């Protein structure tokens, strides 16, 4: 009886872990005026934050794909908040309008 309970508990714990990704799937680059050491420290702290957010979430991911999506969101928000460059979709809009007669796109 004890053995079967242990087997069920082990299976459940392994199933829960299988929906938590090991790391981000998106490329993040060091921000302006950030050196490699600072980037590595921020990367490590943001990975830990993303893992803890997933583990503490009231709704646990039902698949690895869902877990990866949520992990990436938490990780990218953290890295962006620390001043690093994250991927964005669409067109890059310059901060300063071009000097030509054409205004910057909105």
Structure tokens given for 68: 């990866």
Residues 55-86 have pLDDT tens digits of 999 988 999 999 999 999 999 999 999 999 99
pLDDT of residue 25: 95
pTM (2 decimals)? 0.69
pLDDT of residue 8: 45
Distances from the Cα of 90 to the Cαs of 27, 87, 98, 103, in angstroms?
A: 16, 10, 19, 18
Closest CA to 30 of 39, 17, 21, 41: 39
Residues 7-34 have pLDDT tens digits of 444 444 444 557 889 999 999 999 999 9
Using CA atoms, how far apart are residues 93 and 80, in angstroms rounded to an integer?
Answer: 17
């Amino acid at each position: 009886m004890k053995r079967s309970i242990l087997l069920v508990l082990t299976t459940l714990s392994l199933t829960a872990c299988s929906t938590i990704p090991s790391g981000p799937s998106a490329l993040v680059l060091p921000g302006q005026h950030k050196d490699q050491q600072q980037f590595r420290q921020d990367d490590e702290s943001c990975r830990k934050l993303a893992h803890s957010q997933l583990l503490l979430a009231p709704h646990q991911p039902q698949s690895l794909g869902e877990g990866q999506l949520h992990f990436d969101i938490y990780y990218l928000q953290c890295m962006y908040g620390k001043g690093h460059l994250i991927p964005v979709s669409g067109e890059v809009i310059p901060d300063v309008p071009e000097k030509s007669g054409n205004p910057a796109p909105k």
